[in-house]
């Protein structure tokens, strides 16, 4: 089963928690794998804590220190090289095991779309196998 979500981001850097969109999808699945895939080169998917939303800020701050804007070759074309580098490090997908209608996410784990060059409309492909 494949489903496509559309997510509108509102800021340059932003994480969008996808948990609410996926819990319903797996209710009838006895055993399987959910893949979340974003078909973009300046966005990514991660799984981490979203209860303290400061963790997202810490990740973006850390990235800002390590991979600053405006010092890269690709900036001559698009001025977003930093977003491509960060997206390559995080990767466009995550997979989560499903058992008896539930995602085997840990208590603190939330799958999130990571916007690195917003605001934009982003796609997230959800696939159950």
List contacts with a second copy (CB under 8 A): 2, 31-33, 35, 37-41, 46-49, 52, 54-55, 57-59, 61-62, 66-67, 72-74, 76-78, 81, 84-85, 87-97, 99, 104-109, 123, 125, 127, 129
Instruction: Let me know: does 125 contact 1? Beta carbons within 8 Å.
Output: no
Instruction: Let me know: does 115 contact 14? Beta carbons within 8 Å.
Output: yes
Instruction: Let me know: does 111 contact 49? Beta carbons within 8 Å.
Output: no
Cis peptide before 119 (omega within 30 of 0): yes
Q: Report the DSSP beta bridge partners of residue 89.
A: none
Identify which of residues 24 and 65 has a Cβ nearer to a second copy in the complex: 65
Q: Report the DSSP beta bridge partners of residue 102.
A: 99
In whole angstroms, how close is the CB of 20 to a second copy at the nearest point?
18
Identify which of residues 28 and 107 has a Cβ nearer to a second copy in the complex: 107
In whole angstroms, how close is the CB of 28 to a second copy at the nearest point?
17
Identify which of residues 68 and 119 has a Cβ nearer to a second copy in the complex: 68
In whole angstroms, how close is the CB of 66 to a second copy at the nearest point?
6
Report the run of H or E that residue 17 belongs to, with start and end. Answer: strand 14-17
In whole angstroms, how close is the CB of 21 to a second copy at the nearest point?
16
């Amino acid at each position: 089963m494949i489903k496509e979500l559309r997510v509108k981001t509102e800021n340059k850097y932003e994480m969008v928690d996808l948990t609410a969109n996926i819990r319903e999808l797996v209710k009838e699945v006895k055993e399987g794998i959910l893949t979340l895939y974003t078909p973009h080169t300046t966005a990514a998917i991660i799984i981490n804590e979203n209860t303290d939303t400061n963790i997202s800020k810490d990740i973006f701050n850390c990235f800002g220190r390590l991979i600053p804007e405006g010092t890269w070759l690709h900036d001559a074309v698009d001025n977003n090289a930093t977003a491509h580098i960060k997206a390559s490090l995080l990767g466009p997908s995550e997979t989560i095991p499903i058992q008896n209608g539930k995602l085997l996410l840990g208590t603190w784990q939330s799958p999130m779309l990571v916007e690195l060059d917003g605001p934009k409309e982003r796609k997230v492909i959800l696939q159950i196998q």
